[in-house]
Amino acid sequence: MTRANDDLFASVPLHAPLAEQLRPQRLDDVIGQRHLLGPGKPLRLAFESGTPHSMILWGPPGVGKTTLARLMAAGFDAEFIALSAVFAGVKDIRAAMEQAEMTLAQSGRRTLLFVDEVHRFNKAQQDAFLPYVERGTVTFIGATTENPSFEVNSALLSRAAVYVLKSLATDELGELFDRATSSALAGLEFEPDARARLIGYADGDARRLLNVLETIRTAALTAFAGQERRLVSADFLTTALASDLRRFDKGGDAFYDQISALHKSVRGSNPDAALYWLVRMLDGGADPLYLGRRIVRMAIEDVGLADPRAHDIALNACVTYERLGSPEGELALANAVMYLAIAAKSNAAYTAYNAARAFVAKDASRSVPEHLRNAPTKLMKELGYGAEYRYAHDEAEGYAAGERYFPDGMPNVEWYRPVPRGLEQKIADKLAHLRELDGAAKQAKKD
């Protein structure tokens, strides 16, 4: 646990990381989040009112969640306590709440409680805050990189406003880059390509940009020692930096958001967008076989019987990756994704399956009609099992027109409705013809 005058909120020492040295000290110095901090926007109004309210700050790393908490500590006339869910436990929470109650009793001042990485607290730990938030003992501010809908208790979530912070745009990172180089990297020049690469490397994360600039500063002091001009080129970055990985959380929202984008690009028949998201995920370290399983799901759900080859191609891509690995296997996955994107689309089989499941889940356990039952023994035959069953291969067109296969008393259903695309157009034509035969057989029976 830390308080406003302890480590998390102490004055910045000279040896502090560049990201800490350049942390904004005023609200107007914050780069980005104009949708929350611009004139008339929610957090701007909260600051200007001087009255804090409980909130969840949700956004990816390096977008200013902790910075906003620090600015709130300075802007509101309240005691400030900061907890990190990475290190704190129930004991720390109790101590913080006791301190908040003591402050309220002695001075009448409320406490602003900042919980970083709140999604790391379990349900019991999050529940511990509820009575104090409910009574107004503390104003709760949680910071999380994960979706609060899934990671924050609904009771706590209902008592806090959720503000979504966004990754910094390219121009906003450029502004931060210029601020950093002018104030802390004097003497270094950057080629335009090097500047653009560093901004791309940051991938919307302000902290990452400043950390990599600090790395470049250290490397440049050694590489350019004694030189009058110290010019950082794109080639210099290649030698000074490690791998250029995009931000990718294999278990968090970024992961599922990108999977969603890949699936929807395939469903939307855009092979280029589908290929982009596949490569983004591979570049970020996603398990290729996990992607393969999702590609098979796309073939089943969104292509279905409109092009049954899609299923085979998706499965074969997984087998290819298992046997060949990277990079050949990844190319097979790319082929599958592009084929699925351009294939005829149908979710008719997927919709029919879901409808059947929903019906069976709430329906009674209906008996199998006697004419459809298996009759391997004499007794079963004597009981009428299998009697009057019509063997379709012996019928005209290989179809027992008018035969019924549903349980007795069950209404006729048509869950599967083929779409007029791809192979399903022919399937639809065949089903229409068979229903005509059923109608003719029914009429003949009446006559």
Sketch the domain layout of the chain as residue ranges: 2-164, 170-240, 253-342, 365-446
- Checking 145-151 for CB contacts under 8 A at 24+ apart, the result is 145/58, 145/59, 145/60, 145/61, 145/117, 145/119, 145/249, 145/252, 145/253, 146/58, 146/119, 146/252, 146/253, 147/58, 147/253, 148/56, 148/58, 148/119, 151/118, 151/119
Is 1.10.150.120 the CATH number for 170-240?
Answer: no
2-164 and 253-342: same fold? no
| CATH H superfamily, domain 2-164 | P-loop containing nucleotide triphosphate hydrolases (3.40.50.300)
pTM, two decimal places: 0.62
Kindly report the CATH number that applies to the domain delimited by 365-446: 1.10.3710
Ordered per-residue pLDDT tens for the chain, 447 residues: 444 433 434 444 446 788 888 889 889 999 999 999 999 999 999 888 888 889 999 998 899 998 998 888 778 877 888 888 888 887 888 888 888 888 888 887 788 889 998 988 888 888 888 888 888 888 899 999 888 988 888 888 888 999 999 999 999 999 999 999 888 887 788 999 989 888 888 888 999 899 889 888 888 877 887 777 788 888 888 777 765 445 555 555 677 888 999 999 999 999 999 999 999 999 888 889 999 999 999 999 999 999 999 999 999 999 999 999 888 999 999 999 999 999 999 999 999 999 999 999 998 888 999 999 998 888 888 888 888 899 999 999 999 998 989 999 898 899 999 999 999 999 999 999 999 999 998 888 887
| Torsion sign across C-alpha atoms 203, 42, 30, 5 | negative
Token digits of residue 249: 């959380």
Any idea which architecture 253-342 has in CATH?
Answer: Up-down Bundle (1.20)
